Each structure stands twice: as structure tokens, then as C-alpha cells.
Amino acid sequence: MPINKSTEYGNISISLDAVANLAGGTITECYGVIGMASQKAVRDGWYELLKIENYSRGVVVRQQEDGIVLDLYIVVMQGIKLAEVVLEAQKRVKYVVEKTLEVKVKEVNICVQGVRASK
């Protein structure tokens, strides 16, 4: 179900996949985030890193009456303060999605699927 907006020039319909790709691209630019992960484990608790064309597989977008809720699945860098990385990523994703799409973001939930050493 897309997000519908009405302007003086006409109607705009934003697909949930577009919102997911925007959120996925934004979070991968955050410090400490190695990449997006799939929602499901491949095998034995291993998660695959997603490429840019598959970011929507690592993001769940849900519409609610008072805004949208984003669930993001990520893999983070080893040896950093996890709480600070996740907090800053939540702030950045919320800001970018709200400013780009002019849609209220109610929640940004981040699920850390794994920790890997940086290259």
C-alpha cells in the first residue's frame, strides 16, 4: 500500500519499496555500519550482506495512522560502541526520510544481525 500525498499540482504516490531503499541507502552511510543484512538467516546464524539493489530486503516499512515505522536489519563493525552507532543511525534515517519524502516517521527500529571486523 503506497503512501499517497496531495499537492497543488496533483497527487503523489510513494511506494514502500522506495522508502525502504532510501532508508537502506541512508543507514549504510552511517559510521560503524558495514551493510544491510537480510531479515532471515542464510544458515547457522550467518546473515548475507545485501547489495544496493536489494536494500528493500533488509528494511520493513509499515504504515500507521500517525506515521511510518521502519525496521532495519544491519551488520555493524566490531570494536565500537554499539549503542551510540545505533542511536546516531536512528536519528539520521529519521531525519533523511522525513526531509526527503515529507512523511512523518514514528519509529526507527534497528536490529543488529551480526558484528564483523572491518576491512
Residue 17 lies in domain: 3-116
pLDDT value of residue 70: 95
pLDDT value of residue 72: 93
Sequential pLDDT tens for the chain (119 residues): 788 888 899 999 999 999 999 999 999 899 999 888 877 655 445 566 777 667 777 899 999 989 999 999 998 998 889 999 999 999 999 999 999 998 999 999 999 988 888 66
pLDDT value of residue 44: 44
Based on the structure, what is the number of domains in the chain? 1
Residue 117 to residues 18, 33, 38, 78, 79, Cα–Cα distance (Å):
30, 11, 18, 5, 8
**CATH classification of the domain holding 100:** 3.30.70.1350
pLDDT value of residue 53: 66
pLDDT value of residue 41: 58
Q: Is 88 exposed, middle or buried (0-12, 13-18, 19+ CB in 10 A)?
A: middle
